[in-house]
Structure formats: C-alpha cells, structure tokens
Amino acid sequence: MNMLKVCGRIAAIAALVFTAVSCNTTNDSNPKLDLIPINSVTVDGYTISLESVKELETGSNDLFWKIEQDGEIMTPQSVSINPIMDMGDMMHSTPYNQPEKAKEDDRYFKNMAVFIMPGGMMGSWSISFEITLQNDEVISGEMPIEVASSWRLTSVRDDNDNIYFITWHAPKTPVVGGNDLTFMVHTRESMMNFPAVEDLEMEIYPYMDMGGGSGHSTDFTNPKASGDGLYEGSINYSMSGTWTTSVNLIAENDTLPEVVFEYSVRAE
Ligand SMILES: [Cu+2]
C-alpha cells in the first residue's frame, strides 16, 4: 500500500471516529428521559407535577418539576423548593439544591435531593414550592411525597458529634466490570441546613464474602473530592453477587468509624 493510500485511509477513519464522537455527544446531552409520576397538586388552576426516574428513596434523587395549565406546559421564571420532614415533635429538612431548567428536557425544572430518612411511622415528607411564572404570578403550595428506605445512604459521627451523611450516588446499578463510583457527603449545620462537605479524605474497601471464612476484594481507586460534596473513584467488580464496600472518612486527620454499604452487583 502506498503512502497516499495509507493517508487516505487514516483520514477516512479519522472522519468516521469524529462523526461517531459527535453523534455520541449529541446523544449524551439528550438522553431519553424515562420518568414516572411521583405526585401532583393543583393550585389556582395550575397543576404542578413531580416526576422522577424511580420511586423516591433515601439517598440521592433527581426531582423533575412540570407546571401545566389546561394541559399546556408552562415554563416558569423560577422554581424554589424546600423539602421538610414532619416528625411530630420536630421538623427537619435534608440536603438538596434548587431546581433549574432541566438540560435533558426543557419542559422540566430539575433538582437533586438527598433524603436522609425514609417516611412512614417516624414522620412524613413534603416539599413546599414557590413558582414564579413568566407573568410574575407566584404559585405556592406543598407536595406530599413518599420516601422509601434504600441501601444508598448511611451516616457517621465524629468525636464532636458532627454528623456526616454519606450517599452512594453512582453507579445506580453496579455491574460486573468497571464502574465510576461517586459518593456525596453532607453535614448538618441546623435542622434546616445540610451543606456539602468538600474537604474530606475517603478510603474504601470493596469486599465479597465467599462464605466459609474466605472472600476477596477487587480493583478499585479511592474516591477523591471533586467539589460540591462529590467524591469520585472507581470499582472494577470481578464477580456478580453480594458485595460490601466499607467507607472511612478522614476529617482533619481523624479517621471516623467505618460505615458499610451492602448491595448486589449484576452480571450485566
Ligand atoms: Cu426525620
């Protein structure tokens, strides 16, 4: 093969690769949203709907907000929320951020909330909202929600009784092979304020108990702080089945008591 042909071939491959990459980028910014309804309330003739990719549970949740009048979707100027758990003798909030226009689908506003307790016997959750429409009309109300218990949230306290809520943010469904691993860590400054903690060190250890006193770990990298309370590492699972991952937070050179996440890893 002469040099010209080789170069032509490389150019052709490069063009193909470039096209493939462009297509991927387009797809990634517009993934198909597969939402389920969580609840909806009607205020002053407007229907406010809360949707998510799954039933709400302890740990991190993406909340999608939609506002409709007579079946027509409205795009508000802003949506402001506040999740509250009413526990009878006290109320508290949870770590969350404010909704912004969803990149995935401009019919929705989207925010993240980490629910720190399940609803039920202990108390009930609701999200108060205030929505400013394009015509400056403000609609406000409350959205009652159910929050189920999950394995994705745990907490630990330091010697000074500061609490750290540790959320297993990703992978949502661990699978055999390489997984990007993301935790979130929040603390509690008051019952209504749960800021992200950005300056911790984190050490993890994934382990599979094979029974009979034997077990093994697998390849992993310790998560590192990447801002906004996120800690990013990886685990490459060698087998499907039940795994545990212990997490040690190191705050100001103090190693806090170990917490353990237990979950199943799917074959694919
Ligand atoms: Cu509570």
User: How crowded is residue 193: how many other Cβ atoms within 10 Å of its Cβ?
Assistant: 12
Distance (angstroms) between ligand 1 centre and the Cα of 125 equals 8
Which residues on adjacent β-strands are paired with residue 205?
A: 246
Domain coordinates of the chain in residue numbers? 36-145, 153-265
- Listed residue (116, 104, 102) closest to 184, CA to CA: 116
Q: What is the pLDDT of residue 33?
A: 84
Average pLDDT over residues 63-88: 97
Q: In angstroms, rounded to a whole number, what is the distance separating the alpha carbons of residues 194 and 187?
A: 5
- Tell me which amino acid residue 109 is: F
**Start-to-end CA span in the chain (Å):** 42
Q: Which CATH architecture has domain 153-265?
A: Sandwich (2.60)
Distance (angstroms) between ligand 1 centre and the Cα of 260 equals 21
- 36-145 topology per CATH: Immunoglobulin-like (2.60.40)
Distance (angstroms) between ligand 1 centre and the Cα of 92 equals 6
Distance (angstroms) between ligand 1 centre and the Cα of 75 equals 33
- Using an 8 Å Cβ cutoff, are 66 and 51 in contact? yes
pLDDT in tens, 88-108: 999 999 999 999 999 999 999
Q: In angstroms, rounded to a whole number, what is the distance separating the alpha carbons of residues 100 and 111?
A: 7
Q: What is the pLDDT of residue 5?
A: 52
Task: Tell me the pLDDT of the chain averaged across its residues.
Answer: 91
- Identify the band that residue 268 occupies on the pLDDT scale cut at 50, 70 and 90: confident
Tell me what percent of the residues of the chain surpass a pLDDT of 70: 88
pLDDT in tens, 188-198: 999 999 999 99
Distance (angstroms) between ligand 1 centre and the Cα of 45 equals 32
pLDDT in tens, 140-179: 999 999 999 999 999 999 999 999 999 999 999 999 999 9
pLDDT in tens, 197-250: 999 999 999 999 999 999 999 999 999 999 999 999 999 999 999 999 999 999
Distance (angstroms) between ligand 1 centre and the Cα of 123 equals 6
Which tokens hold the place of 181? Answer: 């691993």
Q: Per mean pLDDT, which range of 4-13, 17-26, 81-90, 94-103 is the poorest?
A: 17-26
Query: Do 153-265 and 36-145 have the same topology in CATH?
Result: yes
Distance (angstroms) between ligand 1 centre and the Cα of 213 equals 38
Q: Where does residue 153 rank: exposed (0-12), middle (13-18), buried (19+ CB within 10 A)?
A: buried
DSSP 112-173: EEEE-S--BTTBEEEEEEEEE-TTS-EEEEEEEE--B--TTEEEEE-TT--EEEEEEEE-SS
- Identify the band that residue 20 occupies on the pLDDT scale cut at 50, 70 and 90: very low
